Chain A
Amino acid sequence: MDGPTLVERYFAMVRMRRFEEACLAGVPTREIHGELHIGIGQEAVAAAMIGTLRDDDALVSTHRNHLHALAKGVPAQPMLAEIYERATGLCGGFGGHMHLFDLERRFSTTGIVGSTLPVALGHAYAARIEGRDSVAVGVTGDGGANTGGFHESLNMAGAWRLPLVVLIENNEWAISVPFEESTATPTLAERAAAYGAWGRRVDGLDVEAVAEAFGEAVAHARAGHGPAVLEATCYRFRGHYEGDLDLYRPAGEKDRRRQEQDPLSLTRERILARGAATGAELDAGEEEAAAAIAAMLAAVRADPMPDPATARDHVFAGAAAQKGLI
């Protein structure tokens, strides 16, 4: 399959970055409540999925999910509206920034670490019994890979050869706990062998390398060869959530990584080095992306908040509240 060009992937990453910056704007203004998790610095992993995943493939994501949603093609404006708790949001303001759902694109999330893979397993099984060649991607962080759900799901997928693709974003930290202090092996990809799965570790700052590896993982699962585990190494640029003082990581190290290992600048440099686009072209595209997101944010901010009278809707199918169930 012909995937997006490097320049197209770059602009996808730029839109992701601008989108999350638009989310950041709602925190100090108290338009967004709760623990907002931002994936700035991890865009290359998400952007690498574009072109490989289809609408009929499922993607189950984590607490840090905005980039994955954008990569899956979830429309940005209702997403931003959901994050801003608006009635026009993807889930009408009932879900919130950590719980984005888009049925048509088979995209869902959970705020409970380790709970992504079991759900992805269900999508994978559905594809199998319906004879579809769809895959289910379950995303987890390196921290989430230490939960029971990770092991149980991969074992079942391995035993039953289900089309489960586990994408691990290894950003080196689970809140304040570093990867090497919480995991028994030097990599997570090497666990694949225990589940009879395809496994590989890739540089998650290199969008082309991840795209290539992700394509292979999905092809493996799509072809009916069973599960795949792709570990993409990256780094979390901001605190675990907005408001996290982030004192467990040395500030100097953080600054250096942000300076030298920003997947956006790395990709931009690569494009320029290859002559795939000129600096002026990239600048123009970046400005366009910024303007589009700014306009989207302004529109979302003008949207209404959910009506308090609807707070008891949706607990059950139909008019449960009227029947006196709630």
Chain B
Amino acid sequence: MNTGTAVRNINVSQSIAESLRLEMERDSRVLVLGEDVGLQGGVFGSTRGLQKAFGRDRVRDTPISEMAFTGMAVGLAMEGYRPVVEIMFVDFVGVCLEQVYNAAAKIRYMTGGRVAMPMVIKTAGGCIGSAAQHSQCLWGTFAHLPGLKVVAPSSPYDSKGLMAAAVESDDPVVFIEHKGLLLQKAGSFAHGAEVPRERYTVPLGQAAVVRPGTDLTLVTLSATVGESLAAAGELAAEGVDVEVVDLRSVVPLDLDTVAASVARTGRLLVVDEDYLGFGLSGEVVTGVIERLGPQALRQVARHGTPDVPVPAAITLEQAVVPRRASIGQAVRAMGAAS
């Protein structure tokens, strides 16, 4: 990814704010609604400056009334607007889930394709030592519900480009930022650190090989991409050459890129910060087997957060959430050196 251009050392939330600003300049139908998105510019700063630039009608602080303002976005979308709704943390979506999976996700289908639903539910997920009700990823939950696109970027570059694509999409997109990445500066990323000033999109549903390797395909997304790259660096010194694939979106799921990689390496490890059961990891493994046949895989493994609420104490959290060290262990356990 390094093309020699100087890195603009903005953080991830700034790259998202910049993306939203460019979308709002392009299209006056784009609106931003949510708690603390206006005056404060978001608790992480990912809507900073927008209210000043576009006024209160287009960037609106709402009461703590998620059911009302998420449903409001559905109505606005039916009026031809392109609302971006911020649910501060993905953990809070329960109070408005009805509007998400019965309204936003289903209206296009129920109308026989007559009604578009160009809304973005922008939210922050992931684990940052915040215990059971503030540390969830939940992308698997949304992915299970037909009609929603689900995006979870891992880098500043992708955050900007995927947000542009999400706003441009005529379908509802659940855009899950990672709480642990939002305030991280571009310069500290090993991948996707350069964020051009001008508008660009990163297409939804296209995975990226962020580290080529020959011994094992490690598939992941969001903040665990960085953790996996760090683990891969250590493993390289031990003679294990790991290919890291960043899915970038869960729906659509780019199984072609994953399968092409596994066809070369013969080993698949899925690393997922979301709950392990009935989720992304099972989907990826099954999808690859369906494409390549079981004989194409010498080894398969999953490493995710077990089906346990994320505990408060940091010693307990470290025991359940995949991070660099545990990812390294998971690869070593596969004995992947060729």
Contact = CB atoms under 8 A, between A and B. Distances in A.
Nearest to A325: B307
A97 B306 CA distance: 23
B102 interface: no
Contacts of A248: 39-40
B312 A93 contact: yes
A91 to B, nearest CB: 8
Interface string A105-120: 0000011111100000
Interface residues of B, number: 39
B133 interface: yes
A309 interface: yes
Given A309-B319, A311-B319, A312-B308, A175 B40 contact: yes
Interface stretch (B12-20, B59-67, B202-210, B278-286): B59-67
A261 B316 CA distance: 41
Interface stretch (B89-97, B244-252, B327-335): B89-97
A98 B320 contact: no
Given A175-B35, A311-B319, A305 B313 contact: yes
A111 B95 CA distance: 13
A147 B65 contact: yes
Nearest to B316: A311
B129 interface: yes
A94 B312 contact: yes
Interface string B119-150: 00000000011111111000000000000000
B95 A148 contact: yes
B40 A85 contact: no
Interface in A105-154: 110-115, 143-144, 146-149
Given A99-B132, A149-B95, A176 B63 contact: no
A85 B64 contact: no
A33 B128 contact: yes
Interface string A147-181: 11100000000000000000000000011110001
B133 A112 contact: yes
Contacts of A305: 313-315
A34 to B, nearest CB: 4
Secondary structure dominating the interface of A:
loop
B23 interface: no
A290 B2 CA distance: 56
Contacts of A110: 133
A306 B65 contact: no
A34 B128 contact: yes
B122 to A, nearest CB: 17
B133 A111 contact: yes
A177 B36 contact: yes
A114 B61 CA distance: 18
Contacts of A247: 40
B43 interface: yes
A280 B320 CA distance: 53
B28 interface: no
A204 interface: no
A157 B110 CA distance: 37
Given A148-B95, A149-B95, A34 B311 contact: no
Contact of A148 (B67, B130, B307): B67
Interface of B: 35-36, 39-40, 43, 61-68, 91-92, 94-95, 128-135, 306-309, 311-320
What 8 A-B pairs come out closest when comparing CB atoms? A96-B312, A33-B129, A93-B313, A34-B130, A176-B40, A308-B319, A146-B63, A182-B63
Given A98-B134, A148-B67, 7 more contacts: A35-B130, A94-B311, A94-B312, A96-B131, A97-B312, A175-B40, A247-B40
24 contacts: A33-B129, A33-B314, A35-B130, A87-B313, A91-B312, A94-B316, A111-B131, A111-B134, A112-B91, A147-B65, A148-B67, A174-B63, A176-B36, A177-B35, A177-B61, A181-B61, A182-B62, A305-B315, A309-B319, A310-B316, A311-B308, A311-B320, A315-B308, A326-B308
